[in-house]
Structure 1
Amino acid sequence: MRSAVLHDAGAPRPYATSTPLVLEELSVPSPRSGELRVRIERASLCHSDLSVIDGSRVRPLPMALGHEATGVVDVVGPDVADITVGDRVVLVFVPSCKSCRACDAGRPALCHRAAEVNGSGDLLHGPALLRTGGGERINHHLGVSAFSEYVVVARESVVVIDDDVPFDIAAMFGCAALTGIGAVLNTAQMTEGQSVIVFGLGAVGLMAVMAAAQVPGTTVIAIDPLPAKRELALRCGATSVGAPHQADVLVQALGSDGVDVAIEAVGSARVMEACLGLLTRGGALVSVGLPHPDQTITTQALQFAGAGKRLLGSYMGDSVPARDIPAYLALWREGKLPVELLHTDTRDLADLNESLDDLADGRVVRRIFTLS
């Protein structure tokens, strides 16, 4: 099978020239107990993939990349009773072990066992399965490795969806939708009449804009340096948009002392600091982006106890995928989450390296790849 493999992180740009991702022929793996094999129909390119390639997220290499995808179940392994061959599924990049402290607390996105195996390049139910023709181990990316024609994943890494959901739509629900929508509904728990500012209008930020726009009476300010993304935010339901240097003025125009919620979807410590300054008393900063691990924030400590401000981390939108993916798809069916606006185009997997440049430069929101 074809699979896009990263051997070394930190390749120079342009990626179209340095070609960090190499399409290789890997052996098609077979599922073990508790696992199943999925034929990937569509896979999306996400900034989290780019973060591994540029070294911001350190992962064991070589690794078959990709984590946001949809496909059809091809083989069901032993001890999997509730999935059948032919089921359409959305892949989830955090499989819940259902027995750690986080899972017991109803927060499967923070599963301790999943964090361990995702960090080591293994699967929830056993060591990595991917191999070259010569037998070299290839690590799994977040338990998925979606830039492959077939993937073996834990049962806990899939959510079954209805057959009427187009693959190009379904592909965006395993990461961007869970993370962006979940940041608004699960982490911030926005309520009627609140105000929010969203920094960074990639797919995750725009999903957050869509979700916030569905909360009655919400004011949604969307911030990005690129005019095309600001225009797209208006189509997604933003009340007002602006470049980063206009954020203060747009918040002041609300006639209050700040916004109730700020969502940082850039991955920048400096933006996080700026967001804290835009919050009203008791407001919440939701950190969604993935800054480089060397970045740190410096801020006035008194504003937390003195003004009741909160800094909330949001991994995978604090989602419960089995609950949230069907719920978000229902909102899409009702026309309340027009995620199709984020679909830039669909390409062949051979265009991956060129697409990394397009993503880094903001020329695409969600480029989707066809594999079969």
Structure 2
Amino acid sequence: MRALVVRGVAATPRVEDVDLAGPGPGEVRVAIRAAGVCHSDLSMVDGTVSPTYPLVLGHEAAGVVTEVGPAVSRVVPGAHVVLNWAPPCRRCWFCGHGEPWLCERTGSPAAARGRASTGEPLHVTLGLGALAEQVVVSEHAVIPVPAELPFDAAALLGCAVLTGVGAVRRTASVTAGDSVAVIGLGGVGLSAVAAARAAGAEPVLAVDVSPAKADLAMAAGATDFLLADDALSRSVRSRTGGRGVDHALECVGRSATIRAAWRATRRGGQVVVVGMGAKDDIVGLSALEIFHSARTLRSSVYGSSDPDRDLPELARAVLDGRLDLTPLITHRTGLDDAAAAFTRMARGEGARTVVTP
């Protein structure tokens, strides 16, 4: 098969021929029909995180099960599925205490799977490597969805939508009348904007460094679009009675934007870090500031969601028309041109690129 492979930090991803073994016990083979290019994939390329190379990129995808290994009971060939990059074990302490998104046995960030045409072993992003024509994964890493759900929408449910919507609903517990700011308007941020609006939040302030994101933000349901500049906190407070927002969701993963979210939040409000950042990018807050502001700073891992429970509900919402994912998809491409999506993402252009292998 063919897959998008990166061979080192800052290297250009390229399509390569890959040898992929068939499914073993408890595993399934999935033909990928659509895959989204996520910022976490870019983090694997630009060195924000440190995976093992060479690496097959991609972890947000949907497709059709084509083959099952022995002892598989979850799906059958022909099933339409969404990939889950963090399948919980259901046995560890965190799973037993209702936090499956923190499962201690979730696969490594870049497990080994398959070989390059040269014979060298390949690793796969977040246990999947979904920017490829096929994947072989554990049966617990696939979630069945209705066959009538379009593959492009299904793919986005597996990461961007589950993460952004979950951050609003599950982590922040946004309710009607709450004020919300979302900083960073990629696929995750736009999903959070849509979820905040659907929850009845008012206002919903969408924030980005690029003025070109304004139309996308308003289409997703924002009440206001604000530029991320030095005047951001004043702009936010001018729209919230001088206080700041009840909830600020940071969907970038940088110390500067986390600080911006902190300053835009009212006393007693909460800052939710949704973006994945670098381990050496330190956020500085003084002890007095933390005490005086009474704000809560927390993260949202995979939207604090249980994919087996939450993803089918999101699929129904798409089919019922309650969840419109149209504003999230700004580019479509084949596998051969997928590398250009990383360049666009690094420049802050558009939202999600959907790749159809």
Runs of 4+ in 1 over 4 A off after TM superposition: none
**Match in the other structure for 2:179:** 195
Determine the C-alpha separation between the residues in 2 that align with 1:23 and 1:43: 15
| Residue equivalent to 1:65 | 57
* 1:94-140 C-alpha deviation (Å, 9 max, x unpaired): 121111122112222211111xx323x33xxxxx3311234321012
Q: 1:103 and 1:241, CA in 2 relative to 1: closer, same or farther beyond 3 A?
A: same
Letter in 1 for 2:145: I
Counterpart residue type for residue 203 of structure 1: G
**Partner in structure 1 of residue 7 of structure 2:** 7
Aligned length: 355
Partner deviation per Cα, 1:41-73 (whole Å, 9 max, x = no partner): 111111111111000011011111110100000
* Aligned partners of 1:198 and 1:222 also within 8 Å: yes
CA–CA separation in structure 2 for the residues paired with 1:277 and 1:341: 28
Match of 1:298 in 2: 284
Measure, in 1, the Cα distance between the counterparts of 2:91 and 2:322.
35
Instruction: Quote the Cα distance in structure 1 between the aligned partners of 2:320 and 2:236.
Output: 31
Q: CA deviation at 1:280?
A: 1.6
Tell me by how many angstroms 1:331 deviates. Answer: 2.3
Matched residues in 1 for 2:200 and 2:343: separation?
38
Report the Cα distance in structure 1 between the residues aligned to 2:14 and 2:10, rounded to whole angstroms.
Answer: 14
- Alpha-carbon separation, structure 2, partners of 1:37 and 1:251: 51
Show structure 2 runs of 5+ residues with no match. none
- What CA deviation, in whole Å up to 9, does each residue of 1:184-231 have, x standing for no partner? 001101122111111111110000000000112532011112222122
State yes or no: 1:152 paired with 2:152. no
Cα shift at 1:256: 4.3
Partner residue in 2 for 1:26: 18
Query: Where in structure 2 are the equivalents of 1:82-161 lying within 5 Å?
Result: 82-114=74-106, 117-119=107-109, 121-122=110-111, 128-161=112-145
Distance 2:116 2:235 in 1: 55
How far 1:282 sits from its partner (Å)? 1.8
What is the identity, as a one-letter code, of the residue corresponding to 1:170?
Answer: A
SS of 1:39 mapped into structure 2: strand
- Matched residue SS, 1:242: strand
The CA distance in 1 between the partners of 2:148 and 2:279, in whole Å, is: 41
Q: Residues 341-352 of structure 1: matches in 2 within 5 Å?
A: 341-352=327-338
Q: Of residues 149, 152, 159 in structure 2, which corresponds to 1:165? A: 149
Match of 2:215 in 1: 231
C-alpha distance in structure 2 between counterparts of 1:313 and 1:286, whole Å: 5
Q: Distance in 1 between matches of 2:36 and 2:224?
A: 28
Q: Distance in 1 between matches of 2:184 and 2:211?
A: 12
Coordinate RMSD, CA, aligned: 1.5
Partner residue, 1:240 = 224
Deviation at 1:357, TM superposition (A): 0.9
Q: Which residue of 1 aligns with 2:273?
A: 287
Matched, 1:219 2:209: no
Corresponding residue for residue 16 of structure 1: none
Is residue 266 from structure 1 mapped to residue 256 from structure 2 by the alignment?
no
Query: Structure 2 length as normaliser, TM-score?
Result: 0.95
> What code does the residue aligned with 2:320 have?
E
Structure 1: stretches of 5+ with no match in the other structure: 12-19, 123-127
Helix, strand or coil: the match of 1:135? coil
- How far apart are the structure 2 equivalents of 1:263 and 1:274? 10
Alpha carbons 2:74, 2:139 under 8 Å: kept: no
TM-score, length-scaled by structure 1: 0.92
Matched AA of 1:140 = V
Q: Deviations over 1:288-325 (max 9, x none)?
A: 11222211011122344444311111111111001111
Residue 253 of structure 1 and its aligned partner are, at CA, apart by: 2.4
Structure 1 Cα separation of the partners of residues 244 and 341 of structure 2: 38
Equivalent pair of 1:201/1:230 in contact (CA under 8 Å): no
The Cα shift of 1:332 comes to 2.3
Quote the Cα distance in structure 2 between the aligned partners of 1:334 and 1:254: 33
Q: In the TM superposition, what are the counterparts of 1:307-318 in structure 2 within 5 Å?
A: 307-318=293-304
In structure 1, distance between residues paired with 2:181 and 2:259: 14
Is this contact kept in 2: 1:29–1:151, CA < 8 A?
no
Aligned partners of 1:194, 1:217: CA distance in 2, in Å? Answer: 5
